[in-house]
Amino acid sequence: MAAEQPTAANLHAGTGPRDHDGAVFSCRDLRYTYLDRFPALAGVSLDVRPGERVALLGPNGCGKSTLLKLLDGLIFPDSGTFTAFGHPVTEDVLEDEQFSTAFRSRVGFVFQNSDTQVFSPTVRDEVAFGCLQLGLSEDETRTRVEDVLRMLDITDLADRAPFQLSGGQKKRVAIASVLVMNPDVLLFDEPTAALDPRTQQWLIDLIVELGAAGKTIVLATHDLDGLDTIAGRCLVFAEDHTIARSASPTDVLADRDLLLQANLIHDRSRTTR
């Protein structure tokens, strides 16, 4: 019997020939190299369950951001398999317009640098962009935009141009442009980087709230403060681009040797003067 082909309908339903016990994402032996000589992922395997909040930890250049891009279908592995909602995700599969639209509506990505994500003439246009690209009506889009602007307390910014916004305001707009599509999965790359303390706390509270609402969240971070609040599980990357450990935030934070190995803390006893 021929294998079932992925379709928009069964992607939305979360059914398919390979559901990996209901995992949202299943990755097996993923390998990715930049320019054929700079390894980013060297045999990474993981599953992400519905409603999980997973933190990716590790040193700069270990592969965290690359994995997020792969989970969003922005890049594709050199080898290994990536399955989302029970279906393999490949470059060929995402060329199917219906499947691509269904996948994009279920997975949202908030980039580390909001300037790479926020580009429309006004905030209102920016937040509406994704909905219109996915074919929602103007009335539905307008309602969603107003709701998410109100939810993130940025209604007063609606007619402002992005270049007029502060870094924290741009981050809210970038998040709004993703939340407006009501995705099942949210990917965050260093969400609290370069934010002031008040905005950092606001964002941590928002991530917790989204998790409590049933969203699946995968985020890359260096910030250990509040880790046990925003994540239920941590995947710690080693400098060799593999996953060194999967454990709870409590266990990870208690393992000093692991944190040193992953360059997440500094060994002050070795500091020379």
pLDDT in tens, 165-193: 999 999 999 999 999 999 999 999 999 98
| Average pLDDT, integer, range 12-29 | 68
Residue 269 pLDDT: 57
| pLDDT beyond 60 at 3 | no
Domains of the chain, by residue range, sit at 8-116+183-270
Kindly give, in sequence order, each residue whose CB lies less than 8 Å from that of residue 198, ignoring residues fewer than 6 positions away: none
76-97 pLDDT per residue, tens: 999 999 999 999 999 999 999 9
Percent residues over pLDDT 90 in the chain: 76
The band of 268, judged by pLDDT with boundaries at 50, 70 and 90, is low
Q: Spell out the CATH class of 8-116+183-270.
A: alpha beta
Percent of the chain, pLDDT > 70?
Answer: 90
Position 105 scores a pLDDT of 93
- What pLDDT does 115 receive? 86
Across the chain, mean pLDDT equals 89
Model-level pTM? 0.89
